[in-house]
Amino acid sequence: MTISHLRLGVNIDHVATVRNARGGNNPDPVRAALIAQEAGADGITAHLREDRRHIVDTDIDGLMDALKIPLNFEMAATPEMQAIALRHKPHAICLVPEKREEVTTEGGLEVAKQDNALALYIAPFIAAGSRVSMFIGAEKAQVEACARIGAPVIELHAGAYADAWAEGRWADRDAELSKITDMAAYAHELGLEVHVGHGLTYDSVGPIAALPHVAELNIGHFIIGEAIFRGLGPAIVEMRKHMDAAREGLA
Ligand code: PXP
């Protein structure tokens, strides 16, 4: 079965990165989110990091107030973030691993080795009605652990696939794509909703968008970069076109 509408979540973290480079209010991530909404994004993704290097708490307040489309609140599984998420009760919560020294989210979450702790951690979100997703590598043990703890959604980390594509390592790209393909199908079979994200571009999005069991893509860095050249709305519309072209014929 193909999931007919492939959703696009636009990650606006790097609008905040540019703002924070100078301090002050410009450019405003909430304004970017509203433009993304207007351009056809199905959701907005924002990662509130422990060090607040891009998105800050007032951005989350502003996004919750202003958006009509769902907010996907990305966060590490810490007590501080749990309290913030429970205060806002966003549509979606995506748990990611977080290292202070990393430039971006490098790997997937280790769910398989901390089943019990994560099951307890996500229970209040599920009770509060937020859709919980776990950002994981495309590995069977992680997918199975997500199903075991009752997380309804997984997001498969596309970073290795995207890097291989960017560096022209075609055999690696194909190997990574086939891991994502297999794990998307397996997760779907286990009843999980499947998302994919990290590092996707106009070039690399097609083969991922064509996977019939994938329901949502979350894309940020490339879109925000492309917005410098085309404007944010047109950059999103173009991404949508690439996704739709890849999806055509699957329905
Ligand atoms: N999905 C998750 C869980 C992420 O952490 C990120 C950002 O690191 C993205 C999607 C978007 O990745 P990118 O900015 O590389 O498109």
Which tens digit of pLDDT belongs to each residue from 69-89? 999 999 999 999 999 999 999
Amino acid at site 69: I
CA distance 77 to 3: 29
Pocket test for ligand 1, best of 105, 109, 161, 202 (most atoms within 8 A of CB): 105
Q: Which residues line ligand 1 (CB under 6 A)?
A: 11, 47, 74, 94, 96, 104-105, 135, 155, 197-200, 218-222
Residue listed under structure tokens 């430039």: 103
Indicate the pLDDT class of residue 61, thresholds 50, 70 and 90: very high
In CATH terms, 7-248 corresponds, of 3.40.50.300, 3.10.129.10, 3.20.20.70, 3.20.20.80, to 3.20.20.70
Q: Across all residues in the chain, what is the average pLDDT?
A: 95
Residues 106-111 have a mean pLDDT of: 86
For residue 223, the CA-to-ligand 1 centroid distance in Å is 11
Q: Can 74 be counted among the known catalytic residues?
A: yes
Of 43-47, 81-85, 100-104, 201-205, the poorest mean pLDDT is in 100-104
Task: Tell me whether strands 153-157 and 131-136 are parallel, antiparallel or unpaired.
Answer: parallel
How is residue 204 annotated by DSSP?
A: T
User: Of the residues 14, 54, 74, 155, which is catalytic?
Assistant: 74
Check residue 174 and give its pLDDT: 98
Measured CA to CA in angstroms, residue 57 lies from 20, 60, 213 at distances of 13, 5, 34
Average pLDDT over residues 133-146: 97
Q: What is the pLDDT of residue 105?
A: 74
Contact by Cβ (8 Å): 154, 187 = yes
